[in-house]
């Protein structure tokens, strides 16, 4: 679930930047590539980490049972929370709304 939450957060940032994730050629793969381009280089490390999680997730889908440890899962939760804060702050900065005068 944390992986799906991270991918959703990345998609939110990409769409808020005015882009859509290319579905052909691997939507999950393209999501984490596009995250850095949509936001800024400060998310490069977390985007690379999440891409590694994507690779592990794919391996799990094809039968590699004990590939993810409890500490791996905990780290993914922490990184997802970090990404949530980054995306929320970035969206507020990028799309800051000002009160309208009448």
* Predicted TM-score of the model (pTM): 0.73
Q: What is the mean pLDDT of residues 58-69?
A: 67
Helices (H) and strands (E) in the chain, counts: 4, 0
What letter would DSSP give residue 100? Answer: P
pLDDT tens per residue across span 33-56: 888 889 988 889 999 989 888 888
Distance CA 11, CA 29 (A): 12
Residue 11 has pLDDT above 50, yes or no: yes
């Amino acid at each position: 679930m944390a992986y799906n939450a991270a991918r959703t957060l990345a998609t939110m940032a990409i769409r808020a930047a005015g882009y859509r994730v290319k579905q052909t050629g691997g939507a999950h793969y393209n999501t984490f590539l596009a995250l850095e381009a949509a936001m800024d280089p400060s998310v490069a490390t977390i985007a690379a980490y999440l891409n590694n999680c994507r690779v592990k997730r794919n391996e799990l889908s094809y039968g590699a049972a004990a590939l993810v440890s409890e500490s791996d899962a905990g780290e993914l939760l922490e990184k997802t929370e970090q990404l949530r804060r980054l995306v929320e702050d970035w969206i507020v900065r990028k799309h800051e709304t000002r009160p309208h005068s009448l």
